[in-house]
């Protein structure tokens, strides 16, 4: 993983919007987040995350044959972040593909990597979730501007006779696209006019309700597809959008919040990076151990969702 050096606490926002630390913590659970430096972009965060991975890995990454990068805040629309990363790391054997599924993107990457390896076309795949969301944040929107931070997380998935990436699910509610978007070329979404600022626009209440209902409904289904009950899941790692969402999911499903890994308190909402950040921290703190059953679940812009159960190696 990698997060920028600059730590921004909640008091930062008090000078330009009507808010305070107590209000932000009580409604989001966020205490700090990281801001990229002016000359630091998503591809730079990706490079640092992979370098960190390589430092903890006993093998070599020189034979990686595919790079999948989930992001909605690329350095530019083209070339892809995966192509930039392939070049910067000198991974000459690797294909490159970006995944534009917002907060669900990282788990979509896990799903795609599993499929490519199962198909026999690839054997060693880097999957990243990386964002510089502070570059696409509307700092006049007091309901959301304090949510977002920057960071990157990476995992390596390799072919193995005994697979530890189990059944995955994917889905979408495309009718909710108007509720969470970043504007681009078109002036409308589904015929509805949008704000053409190039910044994140979010209907927090509608996304909150959709996230809680969607994740709560699919968690038991995903566990069952892997031959498990929720009681047999050791760790739940959802997208860290808002601590209140995670609490609501826990209340709805009965899954203990104490077994839910999050990155929201220290790093804010980092979209596609939030799940690998939470997982990496827990692994290095010794909480996640070999053999643990881990349910990953991303949800967000699209509106899209994805889930997977993995057995930690």
Supply the residues annotated as catalytic. 103, 239, 269
d(CA 89, CA 247): 39
What tokens appear for 151 in the block?
A: 């960071």
- DSSP states of 208-261: HHHHHHHHHHHHHHHHHHTT--GGG-SEEEE--S-HHHHHHHHHHH---GGGB-
Kindly give, in sequence order, each residue whose CB lies less than 8 Å from that of residue 205, ignoring residues fewer than 6 positions away: none
What tokens appear for 85 in the block?
A: 């990363």
d(CA 233, CA 248): 18
Rounded (10°) angle between helices 42-55 and 81-89: 50
C-beta separation of 3 from 49 below 8 A: no
Count other Cβ atoms within 10 Å, centred on residue 15. Answer: 6
């Amino acid at each position: 993983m990698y997060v920028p050096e600059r730590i921004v606490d909640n008091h930062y926002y008090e000078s330009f919007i009507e808010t305070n630390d107590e209000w932000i913590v009580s409604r989001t659970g966020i205490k700090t987040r990281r801001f990229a430096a002016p000359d630091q972009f998503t591809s730079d965060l990706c490079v640092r995350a992979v370098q960190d991975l390589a430092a903890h890995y006993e093998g070599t990454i020189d034979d990686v044959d595919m790079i999948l990068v989930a992001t909605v805040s690329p350095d530019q629309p083209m070339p892809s972040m995966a192509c930039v990363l392939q070049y910067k790391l000198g991974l000459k054997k690797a294909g490159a593909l970006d995944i534009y599924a917002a907060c669900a993107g990282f788990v979509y990457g896990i799903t795609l990597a599993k499929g490519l390896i199962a198909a026999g076309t690839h054997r060693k795949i880097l999957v990243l979730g990386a964002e510089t969301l502070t570059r696409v944040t509307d700092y006049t929107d007091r309901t959301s501007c304090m949510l977002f931070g920057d960071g990157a997380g990476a995992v390596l998935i390799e072919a193995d006779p005994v697979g530890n990436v189990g059944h995955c699910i994917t889905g979408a509610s495309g009718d909710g696209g108007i509720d969470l978007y970043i504007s681009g070329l078109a002036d409308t979404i589904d015929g509805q006019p949008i704000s053409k600022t190039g910044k994140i626009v979010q209907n927090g209440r509608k996304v909150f309700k959709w996230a809680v209902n969607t994740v709560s409904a699919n968690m038991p289904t995903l566990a069952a597809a892997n031959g498990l009950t929720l009681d047999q899941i050791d760790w739940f790692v959802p997208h860290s959008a808002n601590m209140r969402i995670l609490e609501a999911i826990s209340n709805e499903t009965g899954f203990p919040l104490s077994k839910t890994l999050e990155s929201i308190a220290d790093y804010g909402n980092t979209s596609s990076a939030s799940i690998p950040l939470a997982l990496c921290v827990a692994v290095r703190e010794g909480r996640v151990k070999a053999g643990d059953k881990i349910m990953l679940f991303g949800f967000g812009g699209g509106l899209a969702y994805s889930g997977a159960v993995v057995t930690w190696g």
